[in-house]
Copies of this chain bind each other. A is one copy, B any other.
Amino acid sequence: MFQHSHALAPMLRKLMRWAPLDEADQRAVLALPYAIRTLSRTGYVVRDGSAPTHSCVLLSGYAFRQKLIANGCRQILAIHIPGDIVDLQNSFLDRADHNVQVFTGAELAMVPVEAVRDIAFRRSAVGLALWRETLVDGSIQRQWTANVGQRNARERTSHFLCECGYRLEFAGLGHRARFNLPMTQEDMADALGLTPVHINRTLMSLDRDGLTTRRRNSMVIHDWDALATIADFDPGYLHPENDAKVIPVAVTGIATFP
């Protein structure tokens, strides 16, 4: 019944983190109508001000939320990894209040908003899981605000790296101390409210101190605990303990995707 490489399987896996879904719920999630869309580098998934027509599940690649300020500055608000539902925020409101873009090329499953609304209110377990997904996104956003508002460049950058690593590992997409990070230093600067030059100096300083190594688009953290201490990183805000832990065999098979 469950196809091991069903496009929506990563989404299902994620939803089952937030609420236990019975077999009918799971089937209903996988039966959601969708269309695959491929976007190239910096392609827009959602534009600020547009009326939402689809909810997008990120299948491969990385995406980010972003807001443009009058003075031309850009604030990157969140990073998304495969399995994330990239614009649930917008799907239940009239119009998008921010942009969503992909970093590198990415594949998305586009689900019509009507179908999402329908499943959310017809199947309360799925609805709860979806709601929690948006609430955890909100929690990450609060942490991000605190990070930008109260920490210095070194702490801020460290926290960002810890969050990326932890979330990727939590999603089953790699190891927290060794992961792919396809952003430029300019992107990172816009995410952390710093300048590219200062991000560069900060990253180099972490490298010099033996905490990290950067190569290409990949990040290696040599001393996770030390970095987490600098960052004051506590994964509680990601609500990992909410994990329903009821992942049936048929679905765990897709955990390696992609």
Whole-angstrom distance between the alpha carbons of A69 and B128 in the complex? 30
Whole-angstrom distance between the alpha carbons of A149 and B148 in the complex? 6
Does A23 sit within 8 A of B, measured CB to CB?
no
Q: Is the CB of A237 within 8 A of B97?
A: yes
Interface of A is mostly: helix
Size bracket, chain A contacts: 35 or more
Residues of B within 8 A of A49 (CB): 236
Q: Is the CB of B242 within 8 A of A151?
A: no
Q: Is the CB of B94 within 8 A of A239?
A: yes
Whole-angstrom distance between the alpha carbons of A74 and B146 in the complex? 8
Q: Is the CB of B142 within 8 A of A69?
A: no
Q: How far is the CB of A3 from chain B (nearest CB, A)?
A: 29
Does A2 sit within 8 A of B, measured CB to CB?
no
Residues of B within 8 A of A205 (CB): none
Whole-angstrom distance between the alpha carbons of A74 and B150 in the complex? 7
Does A170 sit within 8 A of B, measured CB to CB?
no
12 A-B residue contacts at CB 8 Å?
A73-B151, A75-B149, A92-B135, A93-B239, A94-B239, A94-B241, A98-B139, A121-B124, A131-B131, A134-B135, A137-B138, A138-B141
What residues of chain A have their CB less than 8 Å away from a CB belonging to chain B? 49, 65, 67, 69-71, 73-75, 77, 89, 92-95, 97-98, 117, 121, 124, 127-128, 131-132, 134-139, 141-146, 148-151, 155, 192-193, 232, 236-237, 239, 241-242
